[in-house]
C-alpha cells in the first residue's frame, strides 16, 4: 500500500523518537494502575488505544517456559457492539511472509530447493530486464531477503473483486527492469514473495494456498486462518475503520497470496510465534539451524545498506547492553488494517498486534517494541541503561581530496542537496537552508547533534550516506554534470488521470499523476484517491526522476520505489505514463 518513504529531515529529533517516548510514559502509567505483567500490558494497550483512537485490536504474546496468551480490546464492530477478542479475524498482510518462509524451509529440508540456485532454475519462464553490467542471476535467497532488486508492487488489480483484472506476474515482470543488481540494495518487494509462491507451487505440484493450509496451518493448529476471510469463520472478520472515524468501511479483497493474502487471529498467530521461537521444535518439521537463518543478516560486502540489518523479511536491531540478543520485527498493512509481529529470540519473547484501524501502523510498531522491552526488563529484573553519550571525534581541517570528493549535487527521492565549498567551509544546502558542515577525523561531516553525512562510491557513482541519530542509510546519488532531460520529454509534462480502472470493481490507489519540472529536475507526483488520502493523511507521493531516454525514467534517491522504472508512451493523439501496472492518460494536451 502507499506509504511515506524515508526522507532526510534536518531536525534535532524525529516523530518516531518522540512517539516512542510518549508510549514509554503510557507504559509507566499502566504499570502504576495494574499488577502482573499481562495486566500491565493490557492497561498500556487500553490507554494507547484511547489516545490514538484505535477502534479494535487483538494481541498475542509468547514468553519463556511456555507462557502464552491472547486477548482482544475495543470493538470488532462498533455498530453491532461486537467486542474484539483473541479469535477476531483480520487481514494480516505482510505477516503472511512468515508462512511463506516456513514453506520454503520445508522444501529445503526435503532437499527439493536450494537457496543458492537461480530462481530461473525452478521457474523456467521467469525473466526480468536489467540496465546493469552486473548480470548476476537472482537467487532464491535474494527473494527471501528482499535483495533481488525486483519492483515493489503491481498495483493494477491489487484490491479487486475479480482476480482477472490483475496481469499475470511472470508476464508483467518480463517487461520490467531490476532496480539494482541482486545483493546490492534492500528493496522491499511483494512481487518477490509472489514469485516465491509460484516457486512453491512448481516444486510441490500444489496450489500455494493448499500447500500452506496442509503443510503449515494444520500442523500449527491455526484453525481460524486462511486465504479467504468468509471461508474461515463466518462473522469473525473485524470491520474496518479509520483513526478518528466511527464509520465502518468495506475493503475490497486483496489479490495477493504469498506476500500478503492471509487472514488470521491473534490466537492463531500465537501458534506461529511459538513455532518460530521454538526453532521448529514441532510440525511442520524444519531443523533449528534452518529456522535461525530467518534472522541472519542478508547483506553482503557489496551491499549499500550500511546501517540496515534484514533477515528473511525481518528487520533486525541489536539490543543495548546488558540485554543481549536482537529485536526483529515484520509489519503488515492493508488500507484499513495493520499488523506487527516482533520477537526477541534470545529471550524467547514474541508479540503480535492486529488492528482494524487505518493510519496507525507507526503507533503499532512502537507499542510492540515497548511490550518486548518491558517483557525483557520484567524477565531480567533490570532496566535498560540510558544512552551513553557518543564519544567526541575531534574536528580537523578536511584535506583537499576530501573536499573534492564530497562537493556536488545529490538527488534524493524528493529533494536535491548541494554540497559546496565556500571560503574553505563545506556547506550543505537544501531548498530551505544552508548549513555549515564540520569535518571529523573519522571521515564524517556533522551538521548538528545526531546528524552526519559522508560520501561513498558505488558503480562509478558517488552516494550520499546519512547518519541520523545512529540510523545510517544511503540517501541520494550524485548527478553533477550528469543530468539531462531529453527534449522530446517536455511534451510529456502535464497532468494525467488514471485509466483502465473501474472503481466499482477495483480499488483506486493513485487517481492522478503529475509530471513536472522543478529546478531543472523532472518530478512525478502520484495523487492518492480521496479515501486513501483520508486513511494515510497525505495527498500525494512525490519522486525525483532520472530520465534514461525518451521512453523511460528511473525513480531517484533511495526511497520507497528507489531505482524503479517509470515508462512514457505517446502516439499522434495521446500520451501515457505507466508505473507499477497503472496507466495514466494525459489530460491537458
Q: 570: exposed, middle or buried (C-beta count within 10 Å: 0-12, 13-18, 19+)? A: middle
pLDDT reported for residue 393: 77
Q: Are residues 133 and 242 in the same domain?
A: yes
57 plus 202 within the same structural domain: yes
556 Rama sector, left if φ>0, alpha if ψ -120 to 50, beta otherwise: beta
* Residue 390 lies inside a defined structural domain of this protein: no
Round to whole Å and give the CA distance between 541 and 561. Answer: 10
Grid cell digits, residue 433: 537552508
In a domain, 7, yes or no: no
Does any domain span residue 279? yes
Same domain, 458 and 553: no
User: How many structural domains is the chain composed of?
Assistant: 3
Backbone conformation region of residue 45, classed left if phi is above 0, alpha if psi is from -120 to 50, else beta: alpha
| In-domain check, residue 229 | yes
Question: Which of 350, 380, 410 delimits the end of a domain?
Answer: 380
The verdict on residue 248 lying in a domain is: yes
Host domain of residue 72: 15-380
Cα-based torsion angle of the residue sequence 206, 256, 524, 526 in order, rounded to the nearest 10 degrees = 160
Residue 387 confidence (pLDDT): 53
CA angle 236, 240, 242 (to 5 degrees): 155
Residues 265, 359, single domain; the answer is yes
Q: How far is CA 255 from CA 69, 167, 265, 287, 444, in A?
A: 31, 11, 20, 32, 46
Residues 494 and 473 in one domain: no
Confidence (pLDDT) at 19: 45
CB 93 within 8 Å of CB 334: yes
Q: Is 243 found in the same domain as 176? A: yes
- CATH (domain of 560): 2.40.128.210
Do 136 and 241 belong to one domain? yes
Within a domain: 53 = yes
If asked whether residues 503 and 459 sit together in one domain, one would say: no
456, part of any domain: yes
Instruction: Report the pLDDT value the prediction gives residue 490, as an integer from 0 to 100.
Output: 93
Are 123 and 101 in a shared domain? yes
**Distance separating alpha carbons of residues 17 and 328, to the nearest angstrom:** 18
**What is the separation of C-alpha 378 from the centre of its chain, rounded to a whole number of angstroms?**
30
Supply the pLDDT for residue 24: 57
State which H helix or E strand residue 488 sits in. Answer: none
As a whole number of angstroms, the distance between CA 314 and CA 248 comes to 32
In degrees and rounded to multiples of 5, residue 140 shows phi and psi of: -60, -40
> Residues 227, 282: one domain?
yes
Reference 222, options 68, 64, 356, 89; nearest CA is 89
In the listed set 459, 478, 497, which residue is the last one of a domain according to the structure?
A: 478
User: pLDDT per position in the chain (589 positions), as tens?
Assistant: 554 333 333 322 233 344 445 555 655 655 555 568 899 899 999 999 999 999 999 999 999 878 899 999 999 999 999 999 999 999 999 999 999 999 999 999 999 999 999 999 999 999 999 999 888 999 999 999 999 999 999 999 999 888 888 899 999 999 999 999 999 999 999 999 999 999 999 999 999 999 999 999 999 999 999 997 666 666 789 999 998 889 999 888 889 999 999 999 999 999 999 999 986 566 777 777 788 888 899 998 889 888 889 999 899 988 766 667 889 999 999 999 999 999 999 899 999 999 999 989 999 999 999 999 889 888 877 666 555 555 577 888 888 999 999 999 999 999 999 999 988 889 999 988 899 999 998 899 999 878 999 999 887 889 999 998 888 899 999 999 889 999 999 999 999 999 999 888 999 999 999 999 998 899 999 999 999 999 888 999 999 999 998 899 999 999 889 999 999 998 878 999 999 999 999 998 7
Which DSSP symbol is given to 207? -
Same domain, residue pair 230 and 331: yes
Q: In angstroms, rounded to a whole number, what is the distance separating the alpha carbons of residues 479 and 367?
A: 40
Instruction: Kindly give the pairing relationship between strand 240-242 and strand 357-358.
Output: parallel
Domain of 362: which CATH number? 3.40.710.10
Tell me whether residue 389 is in a domain. Answer: no
Phi, psi angles (nearest 5°) of residue 324: -75, 160
Residue that terminates a domain, selected from 437, 461, 478: 478
What is the predicted pLDDT for the residue at 561?
93
pLDDT at 390: 56
371 and 413 belong to one structural domain: no
Amino acid at each position: 500500500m502507499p506509504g511515506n518513504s524515508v526522507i532526510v529531515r534536518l531536525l534535532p529529533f524525529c516523530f518516531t523518537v518522540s512517539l516512542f517516548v510518549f508510549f514509554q510514559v503510557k507504559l509507566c502509567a499502566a504499570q502504576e494502575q495494574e499488577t502482573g505483567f499481562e495486566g500491565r500490558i493490557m492497561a498500556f494497550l487500553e490507554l494507547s488505544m484511547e489516545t490514538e483512537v484505535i477502534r479494535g485490536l487483538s494481541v498475542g504474546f509468547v514468553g519463556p517456559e511456555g507462557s502464552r496468551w491472547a486477548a482482544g480490546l475495543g470493538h470488532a464492530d462498533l455498530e453491532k457492539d461486537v467486542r474484539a477478542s483473541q479469535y477476531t479475524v483480520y487481514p494480516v498482510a505482510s505477516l503472511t511472509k512468515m508462512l511463506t518462509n516456513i514453506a520454503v524451509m520445508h522444501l529445503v529440508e526435503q532437499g527439493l530447493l536450494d537457496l543458492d540456485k537461480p530462481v530461473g532454475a525452478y521457474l523456467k519462464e521467469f525473466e526480468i530486464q536489467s540496465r546493469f553490467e552486473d548480470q548476476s542471476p537472482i537467487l532464491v535467497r535474494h527473494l527471501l531477503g528482499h535483495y533481488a532488486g525486483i519492483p515493489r508492487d503491481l498495483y493494477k488489480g491489487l484490491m479487486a473483486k475479480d482476480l482477472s483484472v490483475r496481469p499475470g506476474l511472470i508476464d508483467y515482470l518480463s517487461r520490467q527492469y531490476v532496480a539494482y543488481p541482486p545483493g546490492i540494495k534492500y528493496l522491499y518487494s511483494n512481487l518477490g514473495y509472489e514469485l516465491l509462491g509460484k516457486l512453491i507451487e512448481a516444486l510441490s505440484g500444489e496450489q500455494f494456498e493448499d500447500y500452506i493450509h496442509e503443510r503449515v496451518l494444520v500442523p500449527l493448529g491455526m484453525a481460524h486462518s486462511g486465504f479467504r476471510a468468509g471461508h474461515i469463520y463466518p462473522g469473525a472478520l473485524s470491520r474496518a475503520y479509520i483513526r478518528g472515524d466511527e464509520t465502518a468501511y468495506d475493503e475490497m479483497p486483496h489479490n495477493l497470496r504469498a506476500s500478503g493474502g492471509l487472514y488470521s487471529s491473534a490466537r492463531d498467530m500465537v501458534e506461529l510465534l511459538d513455532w518460530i521461537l521454538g526453532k521448529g521444535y514441532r510440525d511442520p518439521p524444519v531443523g533449528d539451524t534452518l529456522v535461525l537463518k530467518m534472522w541472519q543478516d542478508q547483506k553482503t560486502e557489496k551491499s549499500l545498506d550500511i546501517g540496515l540489518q534484514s533477515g528473511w523479511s525481518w528487520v533486525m536491531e541489536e539490543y543495548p547492553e546488558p540485554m543481549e540478543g536482537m529485536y526483529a520485527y515484520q509489519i503488515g498493512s492493508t488500507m484499513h488494517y495493520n499488523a506487527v509481529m516482533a520477537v526477541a529470540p534470545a529471550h524467547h519473547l514474541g508479540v503480535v498486534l492486529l488492528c482494524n484501524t487505518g493510519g496507525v501502523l507507526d503507533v503499532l510498531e512502537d507499542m510492540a517494541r515497548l511490550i518486548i522491552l518491558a517483557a525483557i526488563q520484567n524477565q531480567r529484573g533490570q532496566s535498560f541503561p540510558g544512552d551513553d553519550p557518543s564519544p567526541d571525534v575531534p574536528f580537523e581541517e578536511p584535506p583537499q581530496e576530501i573536499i573534492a570528493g564530497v562537493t556536488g549535487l545529490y538527488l534524493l527521492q524528493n529533494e536535491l542537496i548541494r554540497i559546496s565549498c565556500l571560503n574553505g567551509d563545506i556547506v550543505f544546502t537544501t531548498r530551505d537552508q544552508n548549513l555549515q558542515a564540520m569535518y571529523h577525523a573519522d571521515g564524517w561531516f556533522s551538521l548538528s547533534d545526531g546528524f552526519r553525512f559522508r560520501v561513498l562510491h558505488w558503480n562509478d557513482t558517488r552516494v550520499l550516506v546519512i547518519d541520523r541519530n545512529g540510523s545510517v542509510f544511503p540517501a541520494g546519488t550524485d548527478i553533477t554534470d550528469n543530468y539531462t532531460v531529453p527534449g522530446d520529454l517536455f511534451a510529456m509534462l502535464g497532468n494525467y488521470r488514471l485509466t483502465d480502472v473501474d472503481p466499482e470493481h477495483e480499488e483506486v490507489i493513485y487517481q492522478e499523476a503529475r509530471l513536472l519540472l522543478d529546478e531543472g529536475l523532472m518530478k512525478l507526483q502520484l495523487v492518492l484517491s480521496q479515501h486513501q488520502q483520508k486513511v494515510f493523511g497525505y495527498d500525494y507521493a512525490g519522486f525525483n526522476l532520472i530520465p534514461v531516454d525518451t521512453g523511460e525514467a528511473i525513480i531517484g534517491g533511495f526511497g520507497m520505489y528507489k531505482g524503479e522504472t517509470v515508462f512514457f508512451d505517446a502516439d499522434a493523439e495521446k500520451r501515457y505514463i505507466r508505473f507499477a501496472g497503472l496507466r495514466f492518460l494525459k489530460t491537458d494536451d
